[in-house]
Amino acid sequence: MHFFGLSLRPRKMRQIELTVLSRDVDAVIEFLGRRALMQMAKDETVREARAPEEAAGKLIHDKFENLASVAAWLGLPLPAEPEESSCFPGKAEDDKVAAITQSVLALSRRENEITGEKRKIEDTLNEAKAFSNLNAPFKDLDQLSYLTLRVGRLDPRWEDELREKISPRAVIIPLGSGTEGEGEKRILAASSRKGRFALDSELKKVKFVPITIPEGFKGIPAELLLGLEDRLAAVTKELDELGRQKEGLRKEYGEALNSLAASYLMAGIIIQLKSRLVATANAYFLSGWVPADRIHYLVLELEKLTEGRIAVRAFTPDEVDRVRDGKEKVPVSLKHGGFIKGFEPLVFSYGAPLYGTVDPTPLVAFFYTLIFGIMFGDVGQGLVLLLLGVLTGKRGPAFLKRFSKFSVPLISVGISSLIMGFLNGEFFTFEDVFVGPTRFITGLLTGHPVDRILHLMPLPAMGGSVEKLFYFFGFTLCIGVILNSLGLIINMINLFSRKNYEKAIFDKTGLAGTIFFWYALSIVIRFVLAMIKPEAFTFKFQWFDMAGLVIPLLAILFGPAFWRLFTGGKVLEEGVLVFVMEVFVGVLETVSTYVSNTVSFIRVGVFALSHVVLSYIVILFTEKVSTAAAGPLFGVVIFLFGNGVIILLEGLIVAIQVVRLQYYEFFGKFFTETGVEFSPFRFNKGVSVDS
């Protein structure tokens, strides 16, 4: 089905079956993941993981975890999805991961050791300074402090070994630059009270010789404090150097880590998918849904990739058992140009249309744009929305990319608001900007120049009137009638195409309901014409008017029962009393639904009027304040604040109201059952589906 050259049906789908040799399966899955062509068919069979895939999956997982650890220490983010340049990792990538991991972990371990030593030295120095002026013998500080201090001589050859064994429980501080005795070095060993026994044990092993502190020496020796400070400075310097090395590794490995992580992510996805496939020792079996217009391309590319080592079978939905049995729905893929495609998220947020039914997206795009523009008419504010749409598009700043799905709708409603704003003569709430151009255009076209084409404000001084306002409300009701009628037509087409003839004919949104709605409208139109021009039209409710209303209602109420009677079904499924209640409620529901669905579109005119009134208030306040002392400054503030409120707050409210009209008054007619959106297998969710 086409409407002005636009397709109003989802794309035709086919289920394909691929038989792939084991040697080619990785390449085939990689191709499918890059092109986003195939939605894998559901397989409810639970299979145990095969040994080769389980081993490969564990290896891939371990490699990725290594990369994640390295990236975390370097402070680098890793991608959450494979990238376009990702490839299945091999031995070269495994070796690169090993080299990077070894290089980074060596530096990481050294940093941890030095950081631990620095912390111990700082604690020891702070403790020593606290007791440096204490008037107590040095030998008694061991009982007063949480520290255990050992001062003595050590053969320098044992220093590194001792430092390694006691780290990070204790620290070794050289005292002075000289040696004590032949080949010996003076040191201070410090640990917590809890670790003193382990410290003494290790000191004994390396032949540590304690130095006797002079009897009566009080406080902390100055040499001990100087040694601690020197060692702290040395450790801090080494940490700074390690920081520079870390920054160098970050620059050196940043790009490689990102690329490798993306590749191992892709490999993990491929192996996970392979584990769910039916397979033999030599081949794998894949099945899934593909748009019919992409099958030829898919087969050609897979034959090139596998050099002909692949078998492909395609089936229409009617040939698939699970679809015929109602156990699986055919996924829905829509194919639109840039403008209409921008409104697909709005449709899918409500639900995917059933496969084979009418695609409402083109109508949604048109009426959303039209109704928003009517409710939000201002050239300046429309330009702001248009600019936001451009900035959130593909060529906009990177930080706005996450709002890209709003780009097309913003551009479209910005243009429609701009057009409506020109018709009612508003530019950032100013009403005199377009008087000249409007007079020129209207004078050229009609010979009667006017200041503005539309007069929504019912003020005679501004060229408006209550009569003109009611005409405008009538126009918005006409939009509601058209949109409601289109919803009814779509519903009937869908029901007839699905061979649900009972609902297509007798439902309140089927043929009977449509006839009732349209005939009731014809009566209203005759009545309104008679009120407007009584000299040309007269209205009198005739017997055929009663028939035109009652017969469709009777068909809605009793038609299903007669249908079941003639098709052999049970006529009164719930009994007579329930049937009578259903008839009564059905009459009320049918009448109230059509009245409310149509009258609901008055809100379009109401919001358009409220937009004009709010703009009038903003410009009135701006002009009044500007005449006072320091008024121009306050006038600018009111002008900017007022326009900001209109664009942000009223713009959001209008957007919500348009969505509400689409969902309840339009979708409610035919969206009685939703389908499944086409979701092809792909590595990167940011990559659009191949059209």
Number of domains in the chain: 2
pLDDT at 144: 47
Q: Which two tokens stand for residue 271?
A: 């192996």
Residue 379 shares a structural domain with residue 523? yes
Which residue among 170, 197, 219 closes a domain? 219
The proportion of the chain whose per-residue pLDDT surpasses 90, expressed as a percent, equals 19
- Collapse the DSSP code of 135 into the 3-class scheme (helix H, G, I; strand E, B; otherwise coil) and give the result: coil
pLDDT at 134: 47
What integer is the mean pLDDT of 204-226? 65
What dihedral angle (degrees, nearest 10) is formed by the CA atoms of 103, 108, 109, 110? 90
Q: Count CA atoms within 13 Å of residue 166 on its CB side.
A: 28
Using the predicted structure, report yes or no on whether residue 16 has a pLDDT greater than 90.
yes
| Nearest-10 crossing angle of helices 222-276, 25-35 | 100
Measure the CA angle with vertex 501, ends 497 and 504; round to 5°: 80
Domain encompassing residue 140: 133-219
Select from 589, 322, 665, 356 the least CA-distant residue to 495: 356
pLDDT at 562: 78
Is residue 103, in this structure, part of any structural domain at all? no
Using the predicted structure, report yes or no on whether residue 321 has a pLDDT greater than 80.
yes
pLDDT at 17: 93
Confidence band, pLDDT 50/70/90 cuts, at residue 143: low
Return the top range by mean pLDDT from 410-419, 446-455, 506-515: 410-419
pLDDT at 401: 79
What dihedral angle (degrees, nearest 10) is formed by the CA atoms of 561, 545, 489, 419? -150
Is residue 93, in this structure, part of any structural domain at all? no
What integer is the mean pLDDT of 401-429? 89
In 3-state terms the chain splits into helix, strand, coil percentages (rounded to 5) of 65, 10, 25
Which residue blocks in 330-465 are alpha helix, DSSP H? 338-341, 344-350, 361-375, 379-391, 407-424, 435-446
- Beta bridge partners, 289, equal 15, 39
Tens digits of per-residue pLDDT, 235-274? Answer: 888 889 888 988 888 888 888 888 888 888 888 888 888 8
Residue 358 shares a structural domain with residue 212? no
pLDDT at 133: 53
Residue that has been written with the tokens 């993941």 in this structure: 33
| Nearest-10 crossing angle of helices 651-660, 361-375 | 140
pLDDT at 5: 47
pLDDT at 582: 67
CA 117 to chain centre: 46
Give how far Cα 448 sits from Cα of 440, 452, 453, Å: 9, 12, 11
Is residue 458, in this structure, part of any structural domain at all? yes
Give how far Cα 107 sits from Cα of 165, 241, 298, 629, Å: 19, 11, 49, 69
For all residues of the chain together, what is the average pLDDT? 82
Q: Is residue 75 left, alpha or beta, with left meaning phi > 0 and alpha meaning psi from -120 to 50?
A: left
What integer is the mean pLDDT of 451-476? 75
Is residue 181, in this structure, part of any structural domain at all? yes
The span from the CA of 53 to the CA of 206, in Å, is 53
- Beta bridge partners, 187, equal 152, 174
pLDDT at 537: 73
Please enumerate in sequence order all residues whose Cβ is within 8 A of that of 17, keeping only pairs 6 or more positions apart, or say none. Answer: 285, 286, 287, 312, 313, 314, 315
Is residue 451, in this structure, part of any structural domain at all? yes
- Beta bridge partners, 152, equal 187, 210
Tens digits of per-residue pLDDT, 547-590? Answer: 888 888 888 888 777 777 777 666 665 656 666 676 677 677 77
Select from 384, 380, 378 the least CA-distant residue to 410: 384
Window from 58-72, 278-292, 568-582, 612-626 with minimum mean pLDDT: 568-582
Q: Is the peptide bond before 168 cis (omega within 30 degrees of 0)?
A: yes
426 touches 615 (CB < 8 A): yes
What integer is the mean pLDDT of 8-15? 89
What integer is the mean pLDDT of 143-162? 73
Window from 35-44, 279-288, 508-517 with minimum mean pLDDT: 35-44
The DSSP secondary-structure symbol of 329 reads: P
Select from 467, 483, 460 the least CA-distant residue to 374: 483
What integer is the mean pLDDT of 218-230? 65
Is residue 239, in this structure, part of any structural domain at all? no
pLDDT at 539: 76
pLDDT at 310: 92
Tens digits of per-residue pLDDT, 617-630? Answer: 888 888 788 777 66
The CATH number that applies at residue 148 is 3.30.70.2750
Is residue 109, in this structure, part of any structural domain at all? no
Which residue among 219, 242, 258 closes a domain? 219
Strands (E), 25-169: 39-40, 147-154
Which residue among 169, 187, 219 closes a domain? 219
Using the predicted structure, report yes or no on whether residue 7 has a pLDDT greater than 80.
no
Is residue 230, in this structure, part of any structural domain at all? no
